Amino acid sequence: MRAHRTGPDAPTRRDHHHGSVGSTTNGEYGHTMDFFSALTNGSSRGVLHAWSGDAFDHTPWRDVVRDAHGMAARLRALGVRPGTRVACILTNTPDTVRGLLATWLAGGAVASLPLPTRGQSRQAYGDQLVALTARLDPVLLLADDWIAATLPAELTASLPVTGWTTLRAGGPASFEPTPPGRDDLAFIQYSSGSTSTPKGCALTTRAIERQLEIILHLTGGRPGADTVASWLPLSHDMGMFGCLLYSWAYDFHFVLSTPDRFGLAPRSWFRDMSEYEATMTAGTSTAVYLAARAQGRGTLPKPLRLRAAVIGAERVDWGTLATATAAFRPFGLTDTAFQPAYGMAEATLAVAGKPWAQAPRALTFHGPSLVEGKAVETAPDDPHATRLVSNGVPLPGVEIRAGASGGVAEIEVASPSLAQGYYADPARTAERFPDGRLRTGDLGFLHDGELYVLGRADDMLSVGGRKVYATEIESAVDSMRNIRKGCAALVDAGDTGATRLVLMVEPQGNPKDFRPIAEEAATLALEKAGVALSECLFLPRGVLPKTPSGKIQRFRCRALLTDTTFAPVARVPLN
């Protein structure tokens, strides 16, 4: 059945009952999900509402499944069998959703390759894909037609490339589905590459099942009775597992927008949730800030029914949550809706989160002590105070090790949804997955049973024999009126052993004089961490390297400084 275009209220609504939800613990619980049976359930009532350029297409999940069977038959003819891998560039299109299931039905493991990141050249992206597919050895690559046209000849000469729409053209056919077994490789999630070359997290069907059960607990989900709305890229674990597969497996309505649409119109996120009466969503702290700012004095068509808005992928800002809650409270947003959480692709997705029925929590800690590895609470008016938002408690079946007894340390995780390791990378797997646990590379601590995350270990800089968290300075600079939210990166550009701190920012508006902005940033860095900036570089909008989910790619920021073609809007030396 073809998707049909109608208004947002066309599909029949289901009653939103208020069933009970289990208490939040970190203990084991019964395993009940059969992932592929859940996706292909012919009696499903949910609807996929997918943005298709200028409006939403509305297709019942059962019709999505029917289309996927036809696409799977064509994939079988193209060589997809159990045990093979299919490289996929997953965008937020209706055919991508169908093709995802089709790949599994044909027996293939889906390998989600990264999308081009912010500021990445076409050549660099092509080189990245060539390197990843050489290690992956897939039978073919699936992508949108426009992406396929940009792929380097070196890649297309050695690997068949097929468009999602071409698979649809094959029509229905009869064949026996053979999806991956519970302990078979089902999905390879390539990281966004925020700290290094993307790594392929190898996930079994069982790991995915357990993660979806974890998310159901985290969000207080009600199978068959919720509506999820998302603009997050399906190439990212939050968009794929936290929104699409979660909705599909538990028979929710799913409202799928796109990152481009959100970027052009941040108001569309909460407007979609209002129109479709969404009860759950996910996003980043920066995205919440942009949506609240764009809302301004505007209105929403219906009251919000949002129960759980999972916020992660980057450090959560307390001021952003407070401002957004105030902005949307007149439209029905509750004080408990925002749900700070912590997770990573290596654990499929979530490992900790705020209990859905509780309000977010933030505490203030002594900043210099945090840098020295000690978590010491202090008064909010302490000039050295750092406010940290709690990332919640360990989720069911998850064990978290972090700094205890007031200490800060690398966070380690054991989870029933942990990846097997990094695909075809035994050395990195041995380093990051010792004894079945994950060394996350993030620094944090447990306080009163809740997890507080400071940032990546790579974000720690050594300045004059002292340790400095780059994220602390970046967070302070983010609050400046003339700096775009989430567009500040501090890097050490010293190449002779001497420290040379360079702040890279994207300015807000069109300032005529950049020096006062640079000097304000330098003052904040001195007050916040006692360090002196050497230079402030102002970049054109959209140039600061970021992942699709908005994380700063610090290693690419450093590389940008040595790029002879790099031309900042302005350079302001500071000492």
Sheet holding 253-256, edge to edge: 4-5, 56-60, 47-51, 253-256, 227-230, 280-283, 308-311, 338-343, 350-353, 393-394
With beta carbons less than 8 A apart as the criterion, state whether 210 and 31 touch. Answer: yes
| Per-residue pLDDT, 464 | 64
Q: Which two tokens stand for residue 449?
A: 């049973």
Tokens 């800089």 correspond to what residue?
461
Beta strands in 312-429 (DSSP E): 338-343, 350-353, 362-366, 385-389, 393-394, 399-401, 409-414, 421-422
- Smallest Cα–Cα separation from 72: which of 184, 208, 172? 172
State the Cα–Cα distance between residues 451 and 350, nearest whole angstrom: 13
Tens of pLDDT along the chain (575 residues) come to 334 333 333 333 333 333 222 222 355 445 578 999 999 987 788 999 999 988 999 999 999 999 999 999 999 999 999 999 999 999 999 999 999 999 999 999 999 998 877 666 788 788 889 989 999 999 999 999 888 888 889 899 989 999 998 888 765 667 789 999 999 999 999 976 544 578 899 999 999 999 999 999 999 999 999 999 999 999 999 999 999 999 999 999 999 999 999 999 999 999 999 999 999 999 999 899 999 999 988 899 999 999 999 999 888 989 999 999 999 999 999 999 999 999 999 999 999 999 999 999 999 998 888 878 899 999 998 888 889 999 999 999 999 999 777 799 999 999 999 999 999 999 999 999 998 899 998 989 999 999 999 887 777 777 766 677 788 888 889 889 899 988 898 888 776 556 788 899 999 888 889 999 999 999 988 887 778 888 999 998 888 887 766 677 777 787 788 777 788 899 999 87
Q: For residue 136, which phi and psi values (nearest 5 degrees)?
A: -75, -35
With beta carbons less than 8 A apart as the criterion, state whether 203 and 181 touch. Answer: no
| Per-residue pLDDT, 370 | 85
Alpha-helical (H) ranges within 149-204 are: 153-156, 164-168
Rounded to 10 degrees, the C-alpha dihedral 238/242/245/247 comes to -140
* CATH tag for 462-573 (out of 3.40.50.1240, 3.20.20.20, 3.30.300.30, 1.10.3210.10): 3.30.300.30
CATH 3.30.230.70 matches 58-196: no
State the Cα–Cα distance between residues 554 and 547, nearest whole angstrom: 10
State the Cα–Cα distance between residues 143 and 549, nearest whole angstrom: 19
Tokens 């009126």 correspond to what residue?
481
With beta carbons less than 8 A apart as the criterion, state whether 142 and 89 touch. Answer: yes
Beta strands in 390-449 (DSSP E): 393-394, 399-401, 409-414, 421-422, 438-447
Within 10 Å of residue 190's Cβ, how many Cβ atoms? 23
State the Cα–Cα distance between residues 484 and 478, nearest whole angstrom: 7
Residue 425 corresponds to which amino acid? D
% residues pLDDT > 70 (the chain): 90
Within 10 Å of residue 502's Cβ, how many Cβ atoms? 20
State the Cα–Cα distance between residues 186 and 179, nearest whole angstrom: 8
Alpha-helical (H) ranges within 33-180 are: 35-39, 61-77, 94-105, 122-136, 145-148, 153-156, 164-168
- Maximum Cα–Cα distance for the chain, whole Å? 72
Q: Which two tokens stand for residue 410?
A: 């690398």
CATH homologous superfamily for 199-393?
ANL, N-terminal domain (3.40.50.12780)
- Smallest Cα–Cα separation from 422: which of 57, 111, 80? 111
- CA-angle at 70, arms to 68 and 71, nearest 5°: 65
Domain boundaries, the chain: 58-196, 199-393, 462-573
Non-local (6+) Cβ contacts of 459 within 8 A are: 469, 470, 471, 554
State the Cα–Cα distance between residues 228 and 306, nearest whole angstrom: 9
Q: Do domains 199-393 and 462-573 have the same CATH topology?
A: no
Q: Which two tokens stand for residue 476?
A: 């302070």
Query: What distances in angstroms separate CA 57 from CA 66, 78, 166, 257, 335, one per listed residue?
Result: 16, 28, 19, 11, 32
The predicted model scores a pTM of 0.84
What b/e string do you get for 458-496 counting C-beta neighbours within 10 Å, with b at 16 or more?
ebebeeeeeebbbbbbbbbbbebebbbbbbbbbbbbeee
With beta carbons less than 8 A apart as the criterion, state whether 241 and 274 touch. Answer: no
Tokens 């105070």 correspond to what residue?
385
| Per-residue pLDDT, 42 | 74
Q: Which two tokens stand for residue 249?
A: 């497996």
Q: What is the 3-state secondary structure (H, E, C) of 95-120?
A: HHHHHHHHHHHCCCEEEECCCCCECC
Within 10 Å of residue 265's Cβ, how many Cβ atoms? 14
State the Cα–Cα distance between residues 575 and 514, nearest whole angstrom: 15
Q: Which two tokens stand for residue 413?
A: 């995780």
Q: Which two tokens stand for residue 458?
A: 């790579």
Query: What distances in angstroms separate CA 326 from CA 64, 275, 281, 392, one per listed residue?
Result: 38, 20, 18, 22
Tokens 């290596």 correspond to what residue?
346
Rounded to 10 degrees, the C-alpha dihedral 345/346/350/352 comes to -130
Cα 150 to its chain centre, rounded Å, is 25
- Smallest Cα–Cα separation from 346: which of 558, 187, 473? 187
